[in-house]
Amino acid sequence: MHSTNEILKGVRILTFTTGYAGPFAGRLLASYGAEVIKIESRKGGLDTFRHYGQHKDIDAAPRFIECNLGVRSLSINLKHPTGAKLIRELAGRSDAVLQNFRPRVLDKLGLGDEELRKSNPKLVIVKLPGFGSEGPKSSYGTWGFNLTAFSGMTYLWNHPDQDRPIGSQGVYPDHLGFIMGPTIMVAALLHSRLTGKGVSIDLAQIEGTAYTLGVTYLDAAVNGHDPQPKGNRDPQAAPHGCYRCQGEDRWCVISVRNDDEWRSFCRIIGKEALINDARFVDRAARAQHTAELNALTQQWTETQSAEQVMTKLQSAGVPAGVVQTGADLLQDAQLRHRNYFVSFSDSLIGPFEIPRSGILFRGMSEEPLRLPNRFGSDNDQILGEILGYDLATIDQWRAEEVLT
């Protein structure tokens, strides 16, 4: 049986990444078989996630491990002329480069697209800058947190009629970047393979984010108004939303989209009389009475556990779900069925489980993911076996702080 962990076997990708989106993009390429070489340096070029949390050991930060599974580690000082030269040589023996540094950082080190491509015209280069490589604000510093704000997503991600924006505590654009990055990377690798030509991709994370709000922008453009937050409302379903259940901070979601689902819903909540109630007789009528529907829905959900709501309604063909916490996800029967979590019992940080991927390949096997290789532990092998340098030379570079 073929293994999904070998799909990209033979593809070598150099990554210059830090934080969440860029490293995780590297992880997703590595977990499908690419040889991902993560390039960092103690001379001002360590991935910031190596210091996330309380760990002193730069290989033990759980957040770093989560985002860098399966990658190899090369420690090279890019500011040293020999370091930059070695990267150019390595680019000659690689298929692609992935980077999420600010625009022109690599160019200033003599590692711009043209220089990297000199010895390898087929080289694919994918960049994930926050605001793109070009444009009046391309030098702006960005995080997932404030890209959400700039795109309009924070403004929209709220209950209706609130007196302040809320958005998210998180970094939604990073999640978009770490899946769009590998997708465009493999597309670019295919392009290079089929045309024999390299290609440079600029995937601005702000545009990746805005790509998921296009319906809203069209609404603004065509209808000439500024779309407002909808919260949990859906104009085509009622009841629809998030409802409190039994227990501390426990919630479920329910969506009743048509008459069939409405009839089943009424039977499950023990209110068959409502089926023929004139206020709720069809979708249009129900849309006029959402406040009453939400109230009577919550009256019922408060007497149920979230799991009961989901099981009873879904068994009757009515969309419903548990508003799951992190603890719920780890126990979720469906995720377990998909063999979704990879278990690690590492001496550095103890046992833990990591979610794998949104996709499965049916009829193919899937191997466990590997921990990231320790910082700099692949130096000798990469410089020796890929570039052909002897150990004495490599040791000298270590002494000269080229490899650090």
Site for another protein in 356-385 (CB under 8 A): 356-364
Q: Decide whether 90 or 253 has the Cβ nearer to another protein.
A: 253
Q: Decide whether 224 or 399 has the Cβ nearer to another protein.
A: 224
Report in angstroms the alpha-carbon separations of 161 from 133, 157, 158, 240. Answer: 37, 12, 9, 18
Residue 158 makes contact with another protein by CB under 8 A: yes
Residue 138 makes contact with another protein by CB under 8 A: yes
Tokens 């998030």 belong to: 242
Among 81, 85, 118, 218, binds another protein (CB under 8 A): 218
CB of 171 to another protein, least distance (A): 7
Beta bridge partners of 97: 14, 125
Token duo for residue 109: 């080190």
Among 92, 110, 112, 231, binds another protein (CB under 8 A): 231
* Contacts (Cβ under 8 Å, ≥6 apart) of 328: 322
Residue 348 makes contact with another protein by CB under 8 A: no
Residue 321 makes contact with another protein by CB under 8 A: yes
Q: Decide whether 156 or 268 has the Cβ nearer to another protein.
A: 156
Residue 293 makes contact with another protein by CB under 8 A: no
For another protein, the binding residues in 53-112 under the rule CB under 8 A are: 62-63, 66
Whole-angstrom Cα distance, residue 393 to residue 265?
74
CB of 109 to another protein, least distance (A): 19
- Interface mask toward another protein for 43-62; x: CB under 8 A: ---------x---------x
Residue 308 makes contact with another protein by CB under 8 A: no
How distant is the alpha carbon of residue 372 from its chain centre? Answer: 18
Q: Decide whether 93 or 257 has the Cβ nearer to another protein.
A: 257
Residue 202 makes contact with another protein by CB under 8 A: yes
For another protein, the binding residues in 249-268 under the rule CB under 8 A are: 249, 251-253, 255, 257
Residue 118 makes contact with another protein by CB under 8 A: no
Task: Say which DSSP state 383 is in.
Answer: I
Token duo for residue 95: 């298929």
Task: Say which DSSP state 68 is in.
Answer: S
CB of 99 to another protein, least distance (A): 14
Residue 201 makes contact with another protein by CB under 8 A: yes
Task: Give 101-165 as a 3 state SS string.
Answer: CCCCHHHHCCCCHHHHHCCCCCCEEEECCCCCCCCCCCCCCCCHHHHHHHHCHHHHCCCCCCCCC
Strand, coil or helix: 252:
strand
Whole-angstrom Cα distance, residue 331 to residue 148?
30
- Pairing of the two strands 350-355 and 35-40: unpaired
Q: Decide whether 149 or 275 has the Cβ nearer to another protein.
A: 149
Residue 296 makes contact with another protein by CB under 8 A: no
